[in-house]
Amino acid sequence: MNILMVASEATPFAKTGGLADVIGSLPAALAARGERVAVVIPGYRQNVYPNPPREAYRSLWIPLGPGYVVSIFQTTERGVDFYFVHCPALFDRDGIYGHVDDFMRFAVLSKAALGVARYLFRPEVIHCHDWQSALVPVYMAEHLRLDPTYSGVKVLFTIHNLGYQGMFGRETLAPIGLDPRLFNPEQLEFFGKVNYLKGGIAWSDAVSTVSKGYAREIQTRAFGFGLDDFLHKHGPVAGILNGVDYSEWNPEHDPNIAAHYSADDLAGKRECKRTLLAELGLPAGLDRPLAGIVSRFAAQKGFDLISEIASRLLEEDLSLAVIGSGDAEYESMFRSLAESYPDKVAVRIGYDDALAHRIEAGSDMFLMPSQYEPCGLNQIYSLRYGTVPVVRATGGLDDTIDEETGFKFREYSGSALLDAIRSALAAYQDRAAWVGMMRSGMRKDFSWGASAAEYAALYRRLRAESF
């Protein structure tokens, strides 16, 4: 079956978070099952291309705003065609998000993806991810309803994070080519703004998210970001857990780490810890437990809890290895912790994929105290690296970690987090039990197989509805 995915990032080309990991690996898993999959993402200035892309379509006219002429470039990775929307006026910039005209940048992405569907890859299902591609079904319904190219083409919309909805002023409707009548609470209007994600939910044929737990949570007031009722009304919301790509995240052959290891032979992990401590300038003692953090610094990730308990936490015999970037408030919080506790806390501000792998491999435990977590990938990577996760029991964290493999706390409070970390530190003292826990995690299999099969079944169900 032909499936066209549309998203704003994908490894190995462009990445800020887990969405890129998913778009870089789910298509290959589907292709391995015999599906034909293509992916459309922007041709950002920052894109990294393992193989040079070729121009697949020149001068596609996008009649939005002032009008844009875009080219489509193409390359193939692991049996999947990736198409890049080349539009220097919109994508040749510093930073891939956060521009004042993001409403136009991602409207053009959605329109261009429909051009790919017309000229380069004929899909039966278009699978859109997050608000950046949410206008695809809106344009299909509003601009292309009578166009036979798209008749019977179904749209699946996957929400990777309800906290980002793509909200813009009402005046953006005209430049993105949408009729003002859509500005009503049943369609695009949300508290006086245009809400792209709402469009994706309203016009798609099916909606899903990235864990069963999060699918339930987002239909409640506490996690719904104001869209809980709307989601419920357009439901059901399918929950399909993200898989992970063990060709990228596996201590048996990870090229970024100091020594390789497996559940059967853990010796290399000590070497990874030793070299990580040295790299970060932390004292060499291997017995003191080391907790890792690899994260975007956003309120979602729960770092206000770390800030709340910092002084009590660092009275414990524990070190922290942190890589992340994002909100200034958390960057300075972690920086000042490192200054106050130089022999216990090492922080690197920035984005560094290789260091992320070394922290996964060299740490004993991994902290994810998220306020909410749609799926979360780092805790799953941690399991494979024998790095015991300490997580808040929410969304995908709750679905992927159990008492055999990690430590969970439920209440969103500093003291609950501190209790969970103290339990982990106590458990660490019993080496045999700890190694048992590491091995249970390392033997878990979260590869894409089962989840790719669930997507394939959902695509088929959608296609069947068009006859």
Q: Which is nearer to ligand ADP, 140 or 276 (CB)?
A: 276
Q: Which is nearer to ligand ADP, 248 or 316 (CB)?
A: 248
- Residue selected from 186, 353, 404, 430 as contacting ligand ADP according to rule CB under 6 A: 353
Under the binding rule (CB under 6 A), the answer on residue 378 touching ligand ADP is yes
For residue 200, count CB atoms less than 10 angstroms from its CB and return exposed for 0-12, middle for 13-18, buried for 19 or more: buried
Q: Are 384 and 269 in contact (CB under 8 A)?
A: no
Q: How far is CA 403 from CA 117, 185, 399, 434, in A?
A: 46, 43, 12, 12
- Residues of this chain, 287-306, that bind ligand ADP according to CB under 6 A: 294-296
Angle between helices 353-362 and 267-280 (to 10 degrees): 130
**Residues in Cβ contact with 20 at an 8 Å cutoff, skipping those fewer than 6 apart:** 9, 10, 11, 14
Q: Tell me how far, at minimum, the Cβ of 344 lies from ligand ADP, in Å.
A: 20
Binding site for ligand GLC (CB under 6 A): 17-19, 22, 160-161, 210, 242, 373-377, 396
Q: Are 214 and 374 in contact (CB under 8 A)?
A: yes
Q: Which is nearer to ligand GLC, 219 or 242 (CB)?
A: 242
Under the binding rule (CB under 6 A), the answer on residue 209 touching ligand ADP is no
Under the binding rule (CB under 6 A), the answer on residue 441 touching ligand ADP is no
Partner touching 210 among ligand ADP, ligand GLC, none, CB below 5 to 8 Å by kind: ligand GLC
Partner touching 9 among ligand ADP, ligand GLC, none, CB below 5 to 8 Å by kind: none
Classify each residue of 168-184 as buried b or exposed e, where b means 16 or more C-beta atoms within 10 Å of its C-beta: beeebbeebbbeeebbe
For 404, list phi and psi in degrees, rounded to 5. -75, -20
Q: Tell me how far, at minimum, the Cβ of 350 lies from ligand ADP, in Å.
A: 6
Q: Tell me how far, at minimum, the Cβ of 324 lies from ligand ADP, in Å.
A: 5
Q: Tell me how far, at minimum, the Cβ of 243 lies from ligand GLC, in Å.
A: 10
Q: Tell me how far, at minimum, the Cβ of 248 lies from ligand ADP, in Å.
A: 9
| Cα–Cα distance for residue pair 200/216, rounded to 1 Å | 19
Partner touching 325 among ligand ADP, ligand GLC, none, CB below 5 to 8 Å by kind: ligand ADP
Under the binding rule (CB under 6 A), the answer on residue 24 touching ligand ADP is no
Q: Are 369 and 392 in contact (CB under 8 A)?
A: yes
Partner touching 294 among ligand ADP, ligand GLC, none, CB below 5 to 8 Å by kind: ligand ADP
DSSP-assigned letters across all residues of 63-126:
-STT-EEEEEEEEEETTEEEEEEE-HHHHSSSSSS--TTHHHHHHHHHHHHHHHHHHT---SEE
Give the dihedral of Cα atoms 420, 425, 431, 436; nearest 10 deg. 20
Q: Are 396 and 373 in contact (CB under 8 A)?
A: yes
Q: Tell me how far, at minimum, the Cβ of 147 lies from ligand ADP, in Å.
A: 35
Residue 317, classed as helix, strand or coil, is: coil
Q: Which is nearer to ligand GLC, 68 or 214 (CB)?
A: 214
Query: 238 - beta bridge partners?
Result: 208
| Cα–Cα distance for residue pair 214/68, rounded to 1 Å | 38
- Residue selected from 10, 64, 238, 377 as contacting ligand ADP according to rule CB under 6 A: 377
Q: How far is CA 52 from CA 41, 48, 83, 95, 322, in A?
A: 15, 9, 12, 22, 34
Q: Which is nearer to ligand GLC, 208 or 405 (CB)?
A: 208
Q: Tell me how far, at minimum, the Cβ of 431 lies from ligand GLC, in Å.
A: 32
Under the binding rule (CB under 6 A), the answer on residue 351 touching ligand ADP is yes
- Name the one range near ligand ADP by CB under 6 A: 33-41, 81-89, 370-378, 397-405: 370-378
- Residue selected from 251, 292, 324, 389 as contacting ligand ADP according to rule CB under 6 A: 324
Q: How far is CA 429 from CA 74, 142, 290, 364, in A?
A: 53, 62, 13, 12
Q: Tell me how far, at minimum, the Cβ of 158 lies from ligand GLC, in Å.
A: 8
Q: Tell me how far, at minimum, the Cβ of 253 lies from ligand ADP, in Å.
A: 17
Residue entry with tokens 């491999």: 361
Q: Which is nearer to ligand ADP, 395 or 414 (CB)?
A: 395
| Cα–Cα distance for residue pair 212/202, rounded to 1 Å | 21
Q: Tell me how far, at minimum, the Cβ of 220 lies from ligand ADP, in Å.
A: 20
For ligand ADP, the binding residues (CB under 6 A) are: 17-19, 21, 294-296, 323-325, 351-353, 356, 375-378
